[in-house]
Amino acid sequence: MSETSSDTADLESAEAVTAEPVAVSLGRLFNEPITQMPEDLYIPPEAMRVFLETFEGPLDLLLYLIRRQNLDILTINVATITHQYIEYVELMKAMEIELAGEYLLMAAMLAEIKSRTLLPRPPEGRGR
């Protein structure tokens, strides 16, 4: 009977270990893992990832760090990002994703139309 209680205790401790949340790395910045997702940033699951000496992770996160966290752009090799982006676009072409590009254009047009409607209009008699 002691074997059964020992087995149960081992199973419970194994469940406790696996039940703990594991920190998922979003990327790396200067060889340090980035584990916390900024609350005001959405990164789509299929986002393009870049691999640089100073940063590794989604391009969306890199842009966020530069704009919002004042990451020094001079530490970023933009030429490498450009080469990786061209490879990414070539892969998309090979997968025949032209239709996705058309939908992206339509989404951009909708965003532009909406932004124009949200902007204040000039007073009557002025402007044009």
Cβ distance 47 to 60 under 8 Å?
A: yes
Q: Greater confidence, 122 or 5?
A: 122
Residue with tokens 């340090």: 32
Q: Per-residue pLDDT tens for 93-108?
A: 777 666 667 777 877 8
* Predicted pLDDT at 34: 94
Which two three-digit tokens encode residue 13? 């401790």
pTM for this predicted structure: 0.57
Which residues partner with 58 through β-bridges?
49
What does the radius of gyration of the chain's CA atoms come to, in whole angstroms?
Answer: 24
Average pLDDT, stretch 80-101? 81
pLDDT in tens, 6-59: 554 554 544 444 455 556 789 999 999 999 999 999 998 888 999 999 999 999
